[in-house]
Structure 1
Amino acid sequence: MLFEKLHLSAFLLLNLCLHISSGVSLTPDGLSLLSLKSAVDDGAGGALPDWNEDDATPCHWTGISCMNISGSDDPRVVGISVAGKNLRGYIPSELGSLIYLRRLNFHGNRFYGSIPDQLFNASSLHSIFLYDNNLSGSLPPSLCSLPRLQNLDFSDNSLSGPLPKFLSNCRQLQRLIFSGNKFSGEISEGIFPELANLEQLDLSANEFNGSIPDDIGELKSLSGTLNLSFNHFTGKIPKSLGDLPLTVSFDLRNNDFSGEVPQTGSFANQGPTAFLNNPNLCGFPLQKSCKNISDTTPGIQGGLQDSGGASSRKGLKPGLIILISVADAIGVAIIGLVIVYVYWKRKDANGCSCTGKGKLGGNEKTGLCAFPCINSFPSNESDLESEKGGGGGTSGGMSGGEGDLVAIDKGFTFELDELLRASAYVLGKSGLGIVYKVVLGNGVPVAVRRLGEGGEQRYKEFVAEVQAIGRIKHPNIVKLRAYYWAPDEKLLISDFISNGSLASALRGKPGTSSTLSWSTRLKIAKGTARGLAYLHECSPRKFVHGDIKPSNILLDNDFQPHISDFGLNRLITITGNNPSSSGGFIGGALPYLKPSQPEKTNNYRAPEARLPGGRPTQKWDVYSFGVVLLELLTGKSPEVSSPTSSTSTEILDLVRWVRKGFDEESPLSEMVDPVLLQEVHAKKEVLAVFHIALACTEGDPEIRPRMKTVSENLEKVGT
C-alpha cells in the first residue's frame, strides 16, 4: 500500500508538471480523480478510458457529475458513479479532497483493501455505496464526521470487527446496510437511540453474537424490514422490538434465540417465517407451544395442549374417524345440491327485468337475480363534443349482457334503475375509458367509468383487482363505491369530486391565471402527501400509483385534494383496452376537459421511469410528487423556458430550472409564483417546501425520502 501511494504521488506530480508545461490546466478536482484511474484496472488495460489528463475539466468524464458552486470559477465534482465496471484496485485517499462530493457509488466492482480514513475529508458526502466489492478491515473512525451522511451501503464485502459505537454520531443516517460481511461480537447499547432518522437497518449474514440491545426499539423512523437474520444472536428476543412502527417486518431467521416470542405491539403483525430456524424459540406465530415443549405429538410440530392432559395425546379412535368421514361426505353432497339449485334459479332468472326492486348487488326478495340486463351509457363522439361545448347530457339506451353489479362500500346502496335512467354527462374519453357524471335519484352525483369490452376470461383477476382498490379508504383518495362486470361491459362507480383538478386550478381557465393562495396550496400539498403515503405504507398491497400529476389530483369545494387513477392501468390491461397517459380520471368533472396547456407527462416521471422496461416503484411516485410541489411553488408547467442570452432560450424541465436557480443563488422572487409574492409572511414556509421538493426530485432514487417522511416534514410547515 505504501508503494502504491508513493507511485500515486509521483504520478500526480508528473501530471501536474505536464499540465504546467503544456499550458492545459486540469482542475484540482480532475487531478484528484486521476488518482482513482491510476489505482484501478479493468482487466483489459483500459479502465476509465475517457478520463483524460489533457482535458480542462472532468465534468464530461464517464460517471462524473458536476455542479456550479457559488464562489468557485469552475464546476465542482458532486458525484462519482463507476458501478459495475469490473474495476479492480484500491480506493485512493486523494478522493477526500473533493470537498463538494455528495454521492460516491463504486458498487459491483472488485475494490480491495481497507476504506481509507481520509476519504471522509470529503465533508459534503451524504451517500456512499460500496456494496458488492472485496473491501476488508474495520470501519474508519472518521466515518461519522460527515455532517450530512444519510445513506451507507457496505454490504457484500469482507469488512470485520464489532459494530462501532461511533455510529451513534451518524445522526442524519437513513439507511445502514452492512449485510454479508464479517462483523462480529456483541452490539453495544447506546447506538440506536441516537439514529432518530434511520429508516432501513440490515445487519444480516454477519457473525454478530450475544443478545439484541433493548434500545433497538427506539428506532421510531424504521420501515420495511429489520433484518438481523443469519447471525449468532442468542437469548430472548427483546420485547422492545414491539415498540417499532407497525409497518416494520422482522427477519430474525437462523439465529440462536430462545424462549417465547413476545406478543406485544409490532410482534402481532409478524408471520412465522420471521422466526424460522431458531430451534429453542416457541410461541405464536410458530407452531410450537411453550408448555411441555418436550411432549410433542408425532407429526405435529410443538404439540397441541389442552386441559385433557395425557388423553389429548392419544389420537382419535377408528370409529370416530369413520363417523367424521361419513359426515364430511354428506356435507359435500348437500353443498353440491345447493350449488345446482342456485345455478338453475339463476338460469330461470335470466329473463328478469331491471325493475329497480333490488338494491345494488342483488334482488332483496330472492337474493339470486344479479341484474342480468343493463343499459349501456352513450359513447359517441357527438356527446363528448356537446359536453365540451357546455351542452346538456344524454341518457342511456343500449342493451348489455348478463353481469354483476356489486357494492364495494356496503353503506353505499342505490337501485340499479337509478343508474340506468339517470342522465349521463360525458366528461372525457381516453385510453383509460370513457367517464360520465351521473346524478342519481337522490341528487347524489357519481362518476362512472366505462372500461374496455374484453377480459371475459379474466373475471376473477378483475374482481380481485377492483376489490383491492375498493379497500382503500382515505379522505385524500377518491373512493371506489361499486363496479359492474359483464362479458361485454365493465363499469367503475366512484365518488364525484366537484371542483376540478389541480391542473386546472393552477393554470386557470383560458385567458386567466391561478389565484390559489399559499395556505390553499399548502393544504393541497399536505393532503396529497398524506394520501400518497397511505397508498405506500398502509394500503393492503402497498400500492404504487405510477402516474402522479396535477390532473390526477382532484379538488373538492374546500380545496381538499383527492388522488385519483391509481390501479387503473392494471384493470385496463385485464379488460383489453389500450391505456393512454392523457385524459380520463375516476371522480371529477373539469379534469376531463382539455387543460389550457397540454401536459408533458414524461416531465413528471422520474429519470429511471423514462427508461423502457422499468417496473414502477414508490420512489417514482416520490419524484412525481416533488415535481407537483415545484408547480405549486412556481406556478410553472413542467417545461420551462430559461433565457441563456438576449437571443437564445434554453428549454429546461422544471426540476433542472429550480436546481439551477438555487445553485446560482437566484432571488426567491425569481422562482416563486408571483401570486405568492404578496404573502410575505410565507417566505420561510415556501423555502422549506422548496427543500422538500428538491429532496423528492433527487436523480438517485436510493436517496429520495419515503412518502411517509415527506408527509411528516410537510406537516411541520406552517405549524
Structure 2
Amino acid sequence: MLQSLLFCIILLSPSIVLSLDVLNDDVLGLIVFKAGVHDPKAKLVSWNDSDDNPCYWIGVKCDPMSNRVIELVLDGFSLSGQVSRGLLRLQFLQNLSLSNNNFSGSINPDFAHLWSLQSIDLSGNSLSGSIPNELFQQCGALKFVSFANNGHLTGEIPDSLCSCMTLETVNFSSNKLSGRLPAKIWSLSGLKYFDLSNNLLQGEIPGGIGSMYSLRVISLRRNSFTGLLPEDIGDCLQLQSIDFSENSFSGILPDSMQKLNMSTSLSLRGNLLSGEIPYWIGQMQSLKSLDLSLNQLFGRIPTSIGTLQSLTELNLSSNGFTGGLPESIVNCVNLLSMDFSQNDLRGNMPSWLFKLGLHRFSLSGNQFTGTIKFPSFSLTGFSYQTLQFMDLSSNGLSGIIPSEIGDFSGLQYLNMSSNSLIGAIPASIGKLNAVRVIDLSYNRLNGSIPMEIVEAVSMRELRLEKNFLTGKIPSQIKSCTSLTVLILSENSLMGPIPASLANLTDLQIVDLSRNNLSGSLPKELPNLSHLLSFNISDNQLEGELPVGGFFNSIPLSSVSGNPSLCGSIFNRTCPAVHPKPIVLNPNSSNSIGSSLSPNLRHKKLVLSVSSLIAVSAAAFIFIGVVAVTILNFHVRHSASRSAAPLAFSGKDDLSQSPISDSDYGKLVMFSGDTEFRPGAHALLNKDCELGRGGFGAVYRTNLPSGRSVAIKKLTISSLIKSQEDFEREVKKLGKIRHPNLVSLEGYYWTPSLQLLITEYVSGGNLYDLLHKDSTGCCRLSWHQRFDIIVGMAKGLAHLHRMSVIHYNLKSTNVLLDSFGEPKVGDFGLVRLLPMLDRYLLSSKIQSALGYVAPEFACRTVKITEKSDVYGFGILVLEIVTGRKPVEYMEDDVVVLCDMVRGALGEGKVEDCIDRRLQGNFPAEEAVPVVKLGLICSSQVPSNRPDMVEVINILELIKCPSEGKDEQE
C-alpha cells in the first residue's frame, strides 16, 4: 500500500524525481490506474507493482522490440471508478479499449497528448459531461473513437472533431448529445463509419455529404433532425448502410439515391416523407434491407421492387399505399421478412405470397378480400416449414381456414383476427407444435373448439373471442402448460369450466364471458397464482365463488350476469347444504307411517302442513326473484348492445362487454407490437391508475416484452365525430416523434370506447416534483429547472412545426424520464374532437386554470400556437418560483403572473425565486428567465414570441460553467 501511495504521489507531483530505475513509466501508469478502479472480479490480479515488466499482464500488449505498452484492452471486466490520469504515462499506447464496464466521470481531454493513440473505445460505460473540444484539436494518428452507450454525455458535438482528418470511425450513439451537426462535419474525407444515433440532435443536415467518398455506414437514427434528405447523398458511392429512421425528415426520396449500388441497408422509418416510391428503387441492386415504414408515402408499390433479388427484409407498413401487391415480388427469391400492414392495399389475398419461403409477413390492417388459398408445394419445391410469423388480421377475408394450416410446422405466431372467416377451426391446427400465439378472434367461425388444438403444447396465447363457437371447453386444455392468455368470450360455449384449467399455473388472463357456461366453478382455481384477470361474466354458472388468491379481490364486473353465483362479493350467502337424514326402520315390511305412534303421526302431519306452507311461500318468492332477475338481465343486455368489447367497470376494470356484430374493436400499434391486447395485463383496478384529467383517466400496463406503456381511456366518446376522423388524426399524432414529446404508440377504437396507447414515462410529472414535496427540501436544482424549460420549449417548437396546437399545457402534462429529461404529453387531443367548440373545450381543460390564454374567452379571436406560448410562459414562472399558477388563500386569490409582474415593477424579482433553492441559482440566468415567462404570458397574442424565438432566447440566457449551483 505504501508503494502504491508513492506511485500516486509521483504521478501527481511531476517535480519529484522520476528517474528511479525501479520504476518505468508503463508500470507506474498501469498501477496508478489500477489503484483508482474497483475490480470486483479480480480481473487485474496479475498486475503486480513489484513486476517491472507489464507485458504479460492481462489486457496488456507490448511492442516486441521496445517492450513498451501499445495496447490496453479491458473490455467487459466489470471495472468501475474513474479513468485516472495514470494512463497518460503510456506514451506509446496505440489502442485503448475500456468498453462495457462501469467507469464514471468525464472524458479526460489530456488523452490528446497520447500522440501514438490510434483507437479509443470508452463505449458502454457511465461517463457524463460533454465531449471535450481539446480532445480533437491535436488528434495525432487517431482513427477510431467511440463513446457510444454511455447515456449521460451531453452538450454539442465539438467543432474540433472536423479538424481530425485521420478519423475513420466516429461513434457517439446512445447519449444525450444535443444541438446541430457541425457545419464542417463533411470535411472528414476519410470517415468510413459515422454513428450519432439515439441522441437529441436537431436541425437540418449540413450540405456537402456528397464529398464523403469513403463513407460506408451512416446512422442518425432516433434524433430530431428536420428538413429534406441530403440531395447529394447518392455521390457517397461507397455507402453500404443508411439509417435516418425516427427523425422528422420530410419531402421525397432524393433521385441521387439510385446511384447507391453498393448499399445493402436503407432505413427511413418513422419520418414525414411523402410522395410515391420512385421506380428507380429497383436500381439499388445490393439492397438487403429496405424500411420505409411509418411515413406519409402513397400511391402504388412499384413493380421494380421485384428486381431487388438480394432483398431479405422489406417493410412498407403504416403508409398510405393503395392498389394491390405487385406479383413481381416473387422474384425477390431471398426475401425472408415482409410487412405491408396498416395501408390501404386491396384485392384478393395473393396466394403467390406463400411461395416466397418467408419467415415473417404481415398484411394486417388493409382491405384484402377473397379466400385464403395455400398453394400446393409438392410440385414447387417450397416448404411450409420456414414461416414463423403470419398476420392477416383486420382485412375482409372470407371463406374457411384451409386445413393445410397445420403444415406450417415452424409457425410461432398466427393472427387471422377481425375478418369474415367461416366454418370450423381445422383440427390440423393442433399440428402447430411451435406456435405461441393463435388469434382467430372477431370472425364467424362455428363448430366446437377442436380437441386437437391442445396438441399445440408451446401455445402461450389462445384468442377465439367473438365467434359462433359451440360445444364444451376441452378438458385436455391442461396439456398446454405454457398458456398465459385464454380468451374465449362472446361465443356459445356450454357445459362446465373444466377443473383441469387449474393445472395451467402460468395463466394470467382468462376471459370466458358471454357464453352459456354452466355448473359450479372448480375449487382449485385459486391455485392460479399468476392471475391478473378472470372474467366469467354473463354465463349460467352457479354455486359459491372460490375463495383465495386472486378471487379474494376479483372485480364484481368479472362475475356479474350469473344469477346463481353466490359469495361475499355478491353480498349474498350461499344456501347451506345439509346431508339427507338416515332412517333406520327395524320393521322393513311396514311403512314408515305405520311404525310411528299416534302422537308422532299427528306431529308428522302438522309438520307436513307447515312444510307445505313454507315450501309454497318459498316457491312464490323464488318466482318473484327469477322474474326480477330476468327483467334486470334483459335491461342490462339491451343497454349493453351498444357497448364496446372493452369497457371500464365502476372500479375502472378493463373487461369484456357485449357488442353488436358490426361494432368490434380495432387495435393499432404503430410500433408493430402485434401481440399486445389492451387490458390484457394490469388494467384491473385503481392500483393501475396513474392519474385523471379533463379528457380521461390514465393507466399503466405492460407489453409482452415487459416494456411499460400508458393507456389513456378517453371520456369524450360522445364528442368524437366518426371513426374515420378519429383514426386519421391519431395516425397523424402517432407520426410526431421528438425526445421532448411523449410518443403515441397506438390506439384502440370502438364507438363507445377509445384508448390512446403512449410510452410510459417513469419519472413522474412536473407538478408533483414542484408542489408535492413532503420533505420541504428542493428536489430540482436550478440547472435541472433550466433544462426542463429548454426541453419543454423544444418539444412545443416541434409540435408547432407540425402544425399541432397543444391546447392543454400544464405541469401535470409535463413528465420526466429516468434521466430528468422533460416530455410534454397530452398534446393534440383536441384534433380528435371536431365537434368541440372553445366553450366546451374550456370546460374540458378547466383543470388547467391559470394556464389558459385569455383569448379562449373571446369567440372572435383565433386560437393559434400563441395560445400554447401563453401556457408555456405560466409554466416557466411556476418552475422558477415553485408556486402554483393560481393559489387560494384564506381571504385572497393570488394569480402567479400578476404577482411576479408586480415584483418586477418593484425591482424585487429575485424575491420570487423558489426559496428552496436557498440562493443556489445564478441571478444572471434566473431574472432573464422570469422576464421571458412574463413576455410569453402577455395578454396580447401578437406580443408573445413563437417557440423557436423562445429557444433562441434561452440559448442566449444560458451561462457558462460558472452557472452551476452547489446542489449538483
Q: Which has the larger radius of gyration?
A: 2
TM interval, shorter chain, is: 0.3 to 0.5
Give the number of the structure with larger relative contact order, counting CA–CA contacts within 8 Å between residues 6 or more apart: 1
